[in-house]
Amino acid sequence: MMLKVGMAIVAVVVLLSLLAPLIAPYDPTKRAGPPLSPPSAQYLLGTDNLGRDVWSRLLYGGQVIIGISLLATLLSASIGFSLGMISGYIGGRLDKVLNMVMDSMYAFPSLILAIAIASVLGPSPLNAALAIGVVYIPTYFRMARNETLVVKSSLFVEAAVSLGMPRRRIIFRHILPNLVPSLVVVATINIADAALTESALAFFGYTVTPPTPDWGLDLSSARSYIINGYWWLLAPGFFIVLTALGFSLLGEALGERIGKRGD
Amino acid sequence: MASLLRYAAYRVLLAIPTLIILLTVVFFILRVIPGNPIVAMVGMKAPPEYVEQLIKEAGLDKPLPVQYVEYMAQVFTGNLGRSLIFGRREVAAEIMDRLPATAELAVSAFIVSVLLGHVFGFLAARYGGRVDAGARLYAMVSYVLFIPFIGLALQLVFAVWLGWFPVAGRITPGLEPPRITGMYLLDSLLAGRLDSFIDALSHIVLPSVTLGLVLSGVFVRLIRNNMVKTLGEDFISAYRAMGFSERAVLWKAYRVAIVPTVTMMGLQLALLLQGAVLTETTFSWPGLGTLLLERIQYLDYTTVQGAVVVFVIIVVVLNVAADLINAVLDPRVRRGL
């Protein structure tokens, strides 16, 4: 059930944004009608303060948030996971230090760290992905390290060591495959977190520059108009929640399948 | 008592490396990555002489290792430098102006989330089945509620359409109570100003419900899981066999179940603080988060650095506090040294 709903949500959101050029009725960056028109047959979700079609902006904005979130997840997963696995396997002083650094970073609010990074790098989609990617490295590090410690003490690894198998081969052949299921679960759930952080950075103006649509950015421009009751401007916010929910449902369901819960 | 003191000393010592690591991470982000943060922040917008003067004042013309030592010395002596704008106030003073607002918001949101968490978590464990499934869904959905979205939605419904609460802000201008702690709710009570209290309360309802709602999902899960686990233990069966009423049994289980959740509360601090930054922005709440974001806009480098450093200190101190509370509640924690 959870798996199906999660998959359906993710599929819908991804498809809508991929198909944006085909299905968007208007150019998302250009005036399509009178400003602040309520939803109607002509403007499915109404128009914003500049007369741009909210539905078209929503479709194109999806490309930005999903693109940045996936890129960020790829970055933090590859760095955090390999560091955690290697550090956990080798152990020793380096492992102690790395573990302490990662634990400290993990305790700190990731969004505040991301804001600091984004503010010195300057607003751009790539910089936002970098900022988000960096702050989630500890999530993967902790998971990979903990699991490596468990697998390391299992009999088949001990056997491989006593057979004189080289360290690199043990890590790639015996440790890595055992960690992949957890990696998939943690990464799927993490996409939800990355999407929320991306939205927050967009809300503060650190992702794209106007008039390019991005859900968080569009929501922040809606702030000034909500006082007059223009409720349809909240549509991008609803899609942020929906996207994050889709990925968390999917991740949790996958976690239950393989008998492990994401952190 | 002796074991508690020893644990406290140990825990405080353990916090020092964390503090140094986080401060180093901040130093790395704000000074090493950008090469020259002031140029990065001011960009092409300012005349070069002005940029040079700012660089000198912030001590950024020195080699990085020297800067690092100076930065650490500054933080540990509580001297965060002067703001680069706005009458060149001390950064520490700017932060102290804003800190009480963030504390007030965070504490009230925390209370809201713990209340929601306990009620739904308890009900889920007590009734199981559909109630449990509903609580689980609630926990998942509340966690992904994007704060500006839920905040704006609550503003729309309860402030714009129903008119029950003010849309944003912390208090109606003119009603501020005399500053004692800086927390309006507390100060207005201490000064006996009922009008200020009611006004401040009506302003804090929507922001704290927004933030509390988002955090509550984690508590629902925690309380529910701990309750279910505790209800399955032998001593509960023993109580039941002894003929205690179901109510009494549940109460005993609940008291046992909430203890481990206190440690987990410490782990929610990061969520609480980053949520506060978003909530403050959504509700124009004049706290530390809005200070940070405003000053990034105004390119006030020293204040930005100061605000991030204060966030680091808050995280470290509150984590220690959460562990100490846990040690007071659970003797095993302090004996397990």
* pLDDT value of position B151: 96
Name the residue with higher pLDDT: B108 or B36: B108
DSSP state of B275: H
* pLDDT value of position A227: 83
Mean pLDDT in residue range B151-155: 95
Chain B residues inside the 8 Å CB shell of A1: none
Cα A189 to the center of its chain, rounded Å: 8
User: B270 and A240: CB-CB below 8 Å?
Assistant: no
pLDDT tens for each residue of B229-287? 888 889 888 988 998 888 898 888 888 888 777 777 777 888 999 999 999 999 999 99
What's the pLDDT band for B108 if we cut at 50, 70, 90? very high
Mean pLDDT in residue range A53-65: 95
Of chain A, the percentage scoring pLDDT greater than 90 comes to: 75
Q: Is the pLDDT of residue A260 over 80?
A: no
User: A109 and B148: CB-CB below 8 Å?
Assistant: no
* pLDDT value of position B328: 83
Length of chain A: 263
Q: Is the pLDDT of residue A239 over 80?
A: yes
pLDDT tens for each residue of B70-92? 889 988 888 888 887 767 788 99
Amino acid identity for residue A64 in this structure: V
Q: Is the pLDDT of residue A263 over 50?
A: no
How high is the ipTM of this complex? 0.92
Compute the nearest-CA separation of A44 from chain B (Å).
20
* pLDDT value of position B200: 94
Q: Are A234 and A227 in contact (CB under 8 A)?
A: no
Chain B residues inside the 8 Å CB shell of A120: 29-30, 33-34, 37, 40-41
What's the pLDDT band for A9 if we cut at 50, 70, 90? very high
What's the pLDDT band for A135 if we cut at 50, 70, 90? very high
User: B153 and A237: CB-CB below 8 Å?
Assistant: yes
Q: Is the pLDDT of residue B316 over 70?
A: yes
**Separation of alpha carbons B195 and A249, rounded Å:** 46
Q: Is the pLDDT of residue B312 over 50?
A: yes
Closest CA to B272 of B47, B104, B24, B122: B104
Six token digits for residue A115: 């804001």
Instruction: Say if residue A211 is preceded by a cis peptide, omega within 30 of 0.
Output: yes
Mean pLDDT in residue range A123-142: 96
* pLDDT value of position B130: 92
Say how many CB pairs under 8 Å bridge A and B.
141
**Residue in chain B nearest A240 by alpha carbon:** B146
**Residue in chain A nearest B141 by alpha carbon:** A245
Q: Is the pLDDT of residue B57 over 80?
A: no
Interface with B, mutate which of A93, A108, A225 (most B CBs under 10 A): A108
The pTM is what?
A: 0.92
Q: Is the pLDDT of residue B37 over 70?
A: no
Amino acid identity for residue B58 in this structure: A
Nearest by CB to residue B315, choosing from A108, A231, A252, is A108
Of chain B, the percentage scoring pLDDT greater than 70 comes to: 94
Q: Is the pLDDT of residue A163 over 80?
A: yes
Chain B residues inside the 8 Å CB shell of A112: 273-274, 277, 292, 308, 311
Helix (H) and strand (E) counts in chain B: 16, 0
User: B292 and A112: CB-CB below 8 Å?
Assistant: yes
Q: Is the pLDDT of residue A262 over 50?
A: no
What's the pLDDT band for B333 if we cut at 50, 70, 90? confident
Alpha helices in B155-193 (DSSP H): 184-190
* pLDDT value of position B44: 57
Compute the nearest-CA separation of B277 from chain A (Å).
8
Q: Is the pLDDT of residue A216 over 50?
A: yes
What's the pLDDT band for B337 if we cut at 50, 70, 90? low
Compute the nearest-CA separation of B144 from chain A (Å).
6
Task: Kindly report each contact of residues A206-212 with a partner whose C-beta sits within 8 Å and lies 24 or more positions away, as own/partner.
Answer: A206/A115, A206/A118, A206/A119, A206/A123, A206/A127, A206/A128, A206/A131, A207/A64, A207/A68, A207/A123, A207/A124, A207/A125, A207/A128, A208/A64, A208/A123, A208/A124, A208/A125, A209/A123, A211/A28, A211/A29, A211/A50, A211/A52, A212/A29, A212/A64
pLDDT tens for each residue of A70-87? 999 999 999 999 999 999
**Residue in chain B nearest A248 by alpha carbon:** B140
The CATH T-level fold of domain B100-335 is MetI-like fold (1.10.3720)
* pLDDT value of position B323: 85
Closest CA to A245 of A202, A199, A179, A176: A199
pLDDT tens for each residue of A80-113? 999 999 999 999 999 999 999 999 999 899 999 9
Chain A residues inside the 8 Å CB shell of B149: 219, 234, 237-238, 240-241
Nearest by CB to residue B149, choosing from A100, A108, A240, is A240
Mean pLDDT in residue range B184-204: 92
**Separation of alpha carbons B311 and B320, rounded Å:** 14
- Domains in chain A with CATH codes: 2-262 (1.10.3720.10)
